[in-house]
């Protein structure tokens, strides 16, 4: 009798744990477990607990190592920027296509679209599944001289470029700037000590990496998003069943306001006079230049790497033309 | 009763003179600052710096010290309206007040972990939200403590090249050093609040540079611990020939035990949590407990060692609560699991007795 009730008690104690599925996740955040992103993933994990998944998070300050450990089977899922998760899903990995989402409103439309159950098949590729996409802020061009505000001015300038980001390297070459191979840990130093003239980064870097030093008296931040950086949560396809995976994406989409709040705070921390506003007519030129580049990188033409997924470029174009129907690209013969 | 006292007082010539003077002073002061307030402010500031601070620094009760910070700070700092802002004492008081808020945030964090362990999602969410709000308040207080410490020594943390402040006394050195540490903590609290407090993140590289202004050995490795933590956060800030940050942290912890102030150890534990090094965390907690036997706590700054002890205990409690659902049982402090070492103990034969 006693033994029986003891067993029952033990079972009762274990039951709430046993019902949750445990999934380990390698989480990238430049400042580890005390970083903003890691904290956001903690919120995601808590929400997912209500759906029966118990995420066990492990912080990584090196994105390459986080993805490497995921590849090596050390964790069932990974949270990292789309620059690194692109190999797992080329479709969602093309969200950060150069110049493809000029506003956060467009980004919102895109992420809402992708969170729908209808989009589920697109979230699976090569045995991997996307469990959520959260914005990490637009990448901006930081320059040490405000006169570098058109693509033409970039010619001959030295630009810190992430060495694994093929599309960025192609863009830098396209504008005839000089690629200075860098990684996340050293690009800021190069910009601040003047060994490069320009660098691109989300607004977060302005304060944390002291990029205002590199900007100095004469430089600034070009107020046009080069790309929309996102954090993507990727798992092996068999980790969650389809229904739970869909729930996970909806939970991640539900975190959009929280993420945007963080991003707008970071952007607001940049003093107004440091932004370099570019005239509307130049913007149109920029947009067309980016578009031509995207097409090249979709088709692998002109020595471009074929990194962008045609379906994603098509969707992004649809979103841009919905918010700005008069843009010339919307009637172009080679529309994305 | 009062009126009779006044009448009585008015009768003595000396008291009458005093009353007259008081009236005159009050009239002369008019709407501007009352000179008595100013004098009181100066006296209180000097007393706080010369007597109260050293006394508080010797306390071994961080909770009582933090209450003092919360209670006294508004009073003492209000004198900044009538005299120079008492920044150095004000920085320490605000630092203590920040600790108070953090202790509340810790409890909320443990409540979140406990509820999460039990699978009670609404309770976990509620506690996490509470922890975030409290972390935001902690971050705000700590930013104020950092700013006051910088102002007290007229130090511009953004200036380049770095110009070290003049620190005349040991107390000045410690106040400045703790100010830097508090600035770093503000960033951590802000991140844990969901960036609610909006703390400038460049405090970290600034603190890294300013920490070079202090004697590392004298302060138990704390200046180098601050630097190593920033090197891990921002690898760019690491000088070319510097040793591995983890080695620096370990070495600093040992130095801390030598001088009798284990703040470096607390920093090593925070680094281990931040960068996902459970091995380092387990070692640090074990070393902390082990040091109890051999440490001769620096009496003048006993409070710093006790505050550090609180940080280590919280690290241990977080681990225990996340993994087992309850905080560290007293006899297990220093261990990371409830496994007892009772398997290989020699036993006597009972055959003769049975």
Question: Is A22 in CB contact (< 8 Å) with chain B?
Answer: no
Q: CB count, 10 Å around CB of B183?
A: 26
Phi, psi of A81, deg, nearest 5: -75, 155
Q: CB count, 10 Å around CB of B168?
A: 9
Q: How far, CA to CA in Å, does B177 sit from each of A143, B147, B173, B227?
A: 35, 12, 6, 12
Q: Which two tokens stand for residue B213?
A: 């202004």
Question: Is A271 in CB contact (< 8 Å) with chain B?
Answer: no
CB contact under 8 A, B119 and A186: no
CB contact under 8 A, A209 and B188: no
pLDDT surpassing 70 at residue A281: yes
* Chain B hits for A30, Cβ within 8 Å: 233
Q: CB-side exposure of A313: number of CA atoms within 13 Å? A: 23
Question: Is A75 in CB contact (< 8 Å) with chain B?
Answer: no
Q: How far, CA to CA in Å, does B50 sit from each of A33, A211, B41, B339?
A: 40, 41, 14, 49
Question: Is A265 in CB contact (< 8 Å) with chain B?
Answer: yes
CB contact under 8 A, B236 and A189: yes
A139-173 per-position pLDDT tens digit? 999 999 998 877 888 899 999 999 888 999 999 99
* Whole-number pLDDT of residue B1: 43
CB contact under 8 A, A46 and B233: no
* Chain B hits for A208, Cβ within 8 Å: 201-202, 204, 234
* Chain A hits for B192, Cβ within 8 Å: 34, 39
CB contact under 8 A, B202 and A210: yes
Chain B: give the shortest CA distance to residue A24, in Å: 13
* Chain A hits for B274, Cβ within 8 Å: 31-34, 59
- Write down the residue that tokens 């940049």 correspond to: A270
Q: CB count, 10 Å around CB of A73?
A: 8
Q: Give the residue among A179, A189, A178, A164 at the shortest CA–CA distance from A83.
A: A164
Bridge partners of residue A58, in order along the sequence: A26
* Whole-number pLDDT of residue B24: 57
Chain A: give the shortest CA distance to residue B245, in Å: 14
Percent of chain A with pLDDT over 90: 76
pLDDT surpassing 80 at residue A210: yes
How far apart are alpha carbons B285 and B72 in whole angstroms? Answer: 33
* pLDDT, mean of residues A3-19: 47
pTM higher than 0.80? yes
What share of residues in chain B are helix, strand, coil (percent, to 5)?
A: 70, 0, 30
Task: Report the relative pairing of strands A178-182 and A124-125 from DSSP bridges.
Answer: unpaired
* Whole-number pLDDT of residue B240: 86
The DSSP-derived string for A253-311 is HHTHHHHHHHHHHHHHTS-GGGEE---HHHHHHHHHHHHHHHHHHHHT-TT----S-HH
Contact A170, A148 (CB under 8 A): no
- Write down the residue that tokens 């961080």 correspond to: B62
> Is the previous residue joined to B53 through a cis bond, with omega within 30 degrees of 0?
no
Q: For residue A336, give the 3-state DSSP assignment.
A: coil
Q: Give the residue among B123, B312, B52 at the shortest CA–CA distance from A46.
A: B123
Chain A: give the shortest CA distance to residue B321, in Å: 14
Q: Which two tokens stand for residue B160?
A: 């380049």
- H-run or E-run covering B238: none
ipTM of the complex model: 0.82
For chain B, 354 residues long, the average pLDDT of each consecutive 10-residue run is 46 62 54 78 88 93 95 90 88 96 98 96 97 97 97 92 94 96 94 92 94 97 96 88 95 96 96 94 96 94 96 97 95 90 75 78
Q: Give the residue among A92, A107, A99 at the shortest CA–CA distance from A225.
A: A99
């Amino acid at each position: 009798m006693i033994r029986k009730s003891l067993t029952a008690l033990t079972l009762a104690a274990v039951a709430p744990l046993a019902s949750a599925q445990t999934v380990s996740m390698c989480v990238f955040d430049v400042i580890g477990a005390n970083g903003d992103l890691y904290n956001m993933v903690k919120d995601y994990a808590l929400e997912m607990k209500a759906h029966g998944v118990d995420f066990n998070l492990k912080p990584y300050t090196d994105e390459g190592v986080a993805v490497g450990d995921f590849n090596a089977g050390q964790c069932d899922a990974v949270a990292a920027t789309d620059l690194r998760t692109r190999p797992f899903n080329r479709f969602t990995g093309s969200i950060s296509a150069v110049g493809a989402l000029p506003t956060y409103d467009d980004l919102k439309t895109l992420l809402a679209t992708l969170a729908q159950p209808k989009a589920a098949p697109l979230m699976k590729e090569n045995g991997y599944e996307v469990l959520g996409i959260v914005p990490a802020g637009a990448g901006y061009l930081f320059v040490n001289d405000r006169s570098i505000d058109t693509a033409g001015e970039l010619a001959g300038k030295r630009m810190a470029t992430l060495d694994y980001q093929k599309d960025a390297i192609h863009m830098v070459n396209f504008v005839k700037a000089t690629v200075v191979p860098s990684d996340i840990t050293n690009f800021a130093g190069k910009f601040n000590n003047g060994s490069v003239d320009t660098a691109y980064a989300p607004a977060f870097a302005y304060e944390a990496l002291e990029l205002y030093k590199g900007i100095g008296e004469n430089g600034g931040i070009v107020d046009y998003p080069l790309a929309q950086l996102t954090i993507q949560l990727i798992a092996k396809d068999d980790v969650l069943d389809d229904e739970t995976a869909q729930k996970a994406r909806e939970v991640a989409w539900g975190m959009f306001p929280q993420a945007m709040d963080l991003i707008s705070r970071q952007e607001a921390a940049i003093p107004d006079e440091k932004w370099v506003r570019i005239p509307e007519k130049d913007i149109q030129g920029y947009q067309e230049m980016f578009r031509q580049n995207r097409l090249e990188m979709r088709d692998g033409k002109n020595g471009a790497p074929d990194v962008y997924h045609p379906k994603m470029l098509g969707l992004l174009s649809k979103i841009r033309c919905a918010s700005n129907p008069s843009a010339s690209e919307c009637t172009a013969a080679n529309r994305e | 009763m009062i009126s009779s006292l006044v009448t009585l007082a008015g009768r003595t010539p000396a008291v009458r003179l005093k009353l007259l003077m008081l009236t005159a002073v009050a009239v002369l002061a008019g709407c501007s600052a009352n000179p008595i307030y100013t004098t009181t402010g100066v006296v209180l500031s000097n007393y706080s710096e010369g007597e109260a601070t050293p006394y508080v620094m010797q306390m071994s009760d961080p909770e009582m010290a933090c209450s003092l910070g919360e209670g006294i700070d508004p009073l003492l700092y209000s004198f900044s309206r009538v005299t120079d802002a008492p920044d150095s004492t004000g920085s320490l008081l605000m630092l203590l007040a920040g600790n108070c808020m953090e202790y509340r945030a810790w409890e909320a964090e443990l409540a979140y972990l406990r509820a999460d362990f039990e699978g009670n999602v609404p309770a976990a969410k509620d506690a996490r939200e509470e922890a975030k709000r409290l972390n935001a308040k902690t971050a705000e207080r700590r930013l104020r403590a950092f700013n006051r410490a910088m102002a007290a020594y007229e130090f511009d943390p953004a200036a380049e090249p770095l110009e070290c402040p003049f620190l005349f006394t040991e107390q000045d050195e410690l106040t400045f050093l703790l100010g830097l540490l508090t600035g770093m903590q503000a960033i951590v609290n802000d991140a844990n609040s969901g960036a609610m407090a909006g703390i400038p993140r460049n405090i970290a590289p600034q603190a890294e540079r300013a920490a070079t202004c202090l004697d590392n050995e004298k302060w138990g490795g704390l200046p180098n611990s601050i630097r190593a933590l920033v090197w891990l956060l921002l690898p760019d800030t690491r000088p070319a020939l510097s040793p591995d940050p983890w080695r620096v942290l370990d070495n600093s912890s040992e130095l801390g035990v030598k001088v009798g102030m284990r703040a470096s150890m607390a920093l090593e534990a925070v680094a281990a949590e931040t960068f996902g090094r459970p091995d380092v965390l387990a070692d640090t907690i074990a070393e902390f407990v082990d040091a109890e036997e051999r440490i001769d706590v620096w009496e003048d700054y006993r409070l710093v060692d006790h505050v550090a002890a609180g940080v280590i205990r919280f690290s241990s409690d977080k681990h225990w609560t996340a993994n087992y659902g309850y905080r560290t049982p007293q006899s297990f402090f220093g261990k990371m699991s409830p496994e007892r070492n009772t398997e290989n103990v020699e036993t006597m034969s009972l055959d003769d007795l049975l």
